Chains A and B, each alone.
Chain A
């Protein structure tokens, strides 16, 4: 009886801790969203200040942006599937789906770097004018988040391989998937407000 009671106590304690951590991380994501809000506000105010330089319509490529969007969206989906596998305790499936997510994330990052290097080669740097400053910082901040997400994913997966899918690591993966879906949502707005709007 006593041991039974104690295990129940421990499980409760852990479930409560899980609930708290998920909630706390959610609040953190909201603060991150507000940081993006500032960058969006700055972009909204400064995107016309090209000082006679080329505007987004001349610089951006819509097919490239669409490809990036689709890659990121798919990675968000595979991440969700991976999470289902993780909650089901299927280690190999988890590794597979999160592996796919990782590769897609890497592809997205590569695409973004390609776009940036092209722009910089043509002489459009973040020093050129206020429009390009706000563009590079907004999109670059998202890219930095993707990078840190990838780093986090890689480390967590290494731990999953070494320790197996314990509750602690499932929680880490759950937080990570929250972060990843959140980055996809931010990207929807970057795609719309930065890329699509330039062609309106």
Chain B
């Protein structure tokens, strides 16, 4: 009876190791505090109606940023824990983590950073920026968009379930190589959490990608041909097309692993004729293009930023776009370089090695177009540009390391070493994460109506740069010296400890960088009068998103613009056009269907993890019911009449005018520095305590 009701679940599952208990308690406290604040401010209704059920891609974009930002801190803590263990655990000292903990932590770190930080930020950016850049009011299917987001959230919760709820996480590495991920070698629930976390968020990604493809290909403003699209939209289009080509491969492969574990099939097992190498083959068919899915939108961001801050159109738009297309096509034919050492013959290895090296060509084309754009440009070194320059340096180092690894005989030496780990961190941090930071600083005025504080932003950038070099250059060296990856203990005689200690210090400097980024946002809000952007175009931008107010109205454009050139907004600024008349606007209604489906999808996964079959059945029926109710709803849209639009626009204009009046403030002469921020925060705290202000709350 108990098994029928609860499956494998019992009291032993609850968190009982120190790091899961710590995670659990801190998370529960966070939830309680947040809930208290929301209740206190009477904001539950507002939260539900204005945000959670919203189908506005701008709001969904912001929600992606929140979740991914939170996960960045969560995954970053994992990284610090790993570095600390490595710095301590030399010779007779075993460090503070057991081997099993250590394995769970590096697996979780990898999954969180790739799926829930990088992917989340990229999707958030595309959500917010792409409709604005192509002159659309919304996405092709607002429902798919909210569904994709909430499935992503379900994945986030699932990956954290091992400490929120209980059990363990996979100790298999971020791709759960077979046959280690099979029931025989991983009997616990860790791999099951892994499967369902990736499965649910992966399906969300596929749906989201389909939606963006529909939007970009079918909803561009009149006159905007493909060859007039902004570069970020091009990068997103390439990335999303790659996502729909490879994410189904991941979904299918995960289902096969799931069948191996639950139904006893023999796809990737060692017994019964299964082929574990087939798993490696399939997972990398998805896994390699995945990094380019993250990279291409970042390339688009850099193209936009370089062009804006050099005050020049991008040099050779065509080569830039062809470079991105080239990267995405070639990325599909290089996956074997992840397993050169599996024993394939020279011909096969050579083919994939050569393909891998060829990818460097379109990538270099991109880098050269950026350099050519800067050449003779009037460059401004604002923080977005700093992130770009940092990217070029780190990406070049990582890229050269990558070309080295693409040579099979060299790979035989460096495979599975820290050199490899350093290489892909150079690409993913230097490329993707710096791209995301660059994009957030660049578009922050669009998101919030405020420019970010430049001074603290610069400190944060330098912390990241220095911290990165301190932690990953020693890692390259260690790899060359023979340190393998996923190392939780090493012999004292290797003499590696100083390098590992250096890496830990670098990691702490990066953590300070993250703290400074949070401080930067806080400081910007404190100085909001000084940093407010009322023009909608703070950087003297070139593309259409800057033609809207900051932040844009919920319908983006009052009147859909007609496009005649690339850099549409730049053109428009220099040729005053007559103001066309207002028209009716059709907007989608909010819906909670995405939330309900995601809850059920989560429960399906949860039911499978703990083998609670009735829960799975009920949840699948739930999903079908919500789909039917939503799918046969014939009125998912509403209309805003031209008169209402006019009224909304006038209200907005009055509001903008009111805040743009210069107010005399002591702090308006320059961006706040760090000490000033600390002073203000302490002053505030002192004021609260001394005057017992909490009574009033």
**Chain A interface residues toward B at CB < 8 A:** 6, 9, 13, 16, 19-21, 23-24, 27-28, 30-32, 34-35, 37-39, 41-42, 45-46, 49-51, 126-131, 133-134, 136-137, 151, 155, 159, 166, 168, 172
Contacts and interface: CB of A to CB of B under 8 A. Distances in A.
B264 A46 contact: no
B586 A13 contact: yes
Interface string B205-221: 01000110110011100
Contacts of A34: 245, 248-249, 252
A38 B211 contact: no
B256 A137 contact: yes
B140 A24 contact: yes
Contacts of B264: 126-127
A21 B210 CA distance: 10
B248 A39 contact: no
B29 interface: no
B313 interface: no
B263 interface: yes
Interface in B234-250: 244-245, 247-249
A27 B213 contact: yes
Contacts of A155: 628, 632
Q: Do most interface residues of chain A lie in helix, strand or loop, or is the interface mixed?
A: helix
Contacts of A24: 140-141, 144, 210-211, 213-214
Given A51-B272, A134-B267, A137-B259, 11 more contacts: A20-B214, A31-B210, A46-B275, A49-B266, A50-B273, A130-B273, A133-B267, A133-B272, A137-B267, A168-B632, A168-B634
Given A27-B214, A127-B263, A166-B634, A38 B252 contact: yes
B342 to A, nearest CB: 14
Contacts of B426: none
Nearest to B278: A45
A35 B218 contact: no
A130 B278 CA distance: 12
B218 A19 contact: yes
B247 A31 contact: yes
Q: Please name the 10 residue pairs, one residue from A and one from B, whose CB atoms are nearest each other, closest first.
A: A49-B273, A130-B273, A38-B252, A133-B265, A34-B248, A127-B264, A31-B248, A35-B252, A24-B214, A130-B266
B73 interface: no
B584 interface: yes
Given A27-B244, A46-B273, A129-B273, A38 B249 contact: yes
B626 to A, nearest CB: 13
Contacts of B622: none
19 contacts: A13-B586, A24-B140, A27-B213, A27-B244, A34-B245, A34-B248, A34-B252, A35-B249, A42-B267, A42-B282, A46-B267, A51-B273, A126-B264, A128-B272, A130-B266, A130-B272, A130-B275, A131-B273, A155-B628
A106 to B, nearest CB: 18
Contacts of B265: 126-127, 133, 136-137
A166 B633 CA distance: 12
B398 to A, nearest CB: 30
B251 interface: yes
A15 B555 CA distance: 21
A172 B632 CA distance: 9
Nearest to A33: B248
Given A126-B263, A134-B267, A20 B244 contact: no
Which of B267, B275, B583 has the largest count of A CB atoms less than 10 A from its CB? B267
A46 B219 contact: no
Contacts of B213: 24, 27
Interface string B583-619: 1101000000000000000000000000000000000
Contacts of A6: 584
B274 interface: yes
Nearest to B264: A127
Interface in B613-649: 624, 628, 631-632, 634
A196 B30 CA distance: 60
A127 B210 contact: no
A137 B268 CA distance: 14
A32 B274 contact: no
Contacts of A130: 266-267, 272-275
Contacts of A13: 586
B623 to A, nearest CB: 11
A45 B273 CA distance: 11
Given A27-B210, A35-B251, A126-B265, A159 B140 contact: no
Contacts of B140: 20-21, 24
Contacts of A32: 248
A28 B267 contact: no
B111 interface: no
Contacts of B247: 31
Contacts of A45: 275, 278
